[in-house]
Amino acid sequence: MNKKYDVKEQARDIIEENLDMEAVIYLGTISDEMQRIFTSNPTPSLADVTRIVTDYFTGDGRQAGFIEDWLRTAEEHSATRGLDEVERPKAILSDLGVFRFMWFLKERGLTEEQINIVLTGAVQQATGEEGE
């Protein structure tokens, strides 16, 4: 059995074992919200991303220091991946989506290992990768 296939199956099992239907629906809501953000901002500037991220985290009750640290870390992370100035804002928005998924799963009691499996499985599902 291909390891990629195993991860998608493991991710599905973790979700089924640990999340109720309400949680699964909420994960879909996060996905839909992030898709709307990307659709509304196909080529975002760093200023656009800063506004979007700040609005999200402010609405989530986060303090200014957290938001500044998060943005700085996300920008540094995108730079270390070798992304140019044009691609970095998109990567930061993508990081916001991943953060939202991870935070929700953590709040639901999943371990770091389980969260990594679920996110890996989701990426494989979204990119159409299949086991061979």
Residue 24's identity, in one-letter code, is V
Q: Name, in order, each residue with C-beta under 8 angstroms of 52's C-beta and a sequence gap of 6 or more.
A: 37, 41, 44, 93, 96
pLDDT digits (tens, 9 = 90+) for 19-58: 999 998 998 999 999 999 999 999 999 999 999 999 999 9
- pLDDT in the model for residue 70: 97
Cα–Cα distance for residue pair 103/95, rounded to 1 Å: 12
Q: Flag the least confident range among 11-15, 94-98, 122-126.
A: 122-126
Average pLDDT over residues 2-14: 77
Report phi then psi at 81, rounded to 5.
Answer: -80, 0
Domain map (residue ranges) of the chain:
1-19+113-132, 20-107
pLDDT band at 129 (very low <50, low <70, confident <90, very high): low
Question: What pLDDT is recorded for position 99?
Answer: 94
> Cα(31)–Cα(37) distance, rounded to whole angstroms?
10
Residue with more model confidence, 123 or 15: 15
Q: What pLDDT, on the 0 to 100 scale, is given for residue 121?
A: 84
Model confidence over 79-107: pLDDT tens digits? 999 999 889 999 999 999 999 999 999 99
DSSP assignments along 4-15, one per residue:
HHHHHHHHHHHH
Cα-trace Rg, the chain: 16
3-class state of residue 119 by DSSP: helix
* Identity of the highest mean pLDDT range in 6-10, 37-41, 124-128: 37-41
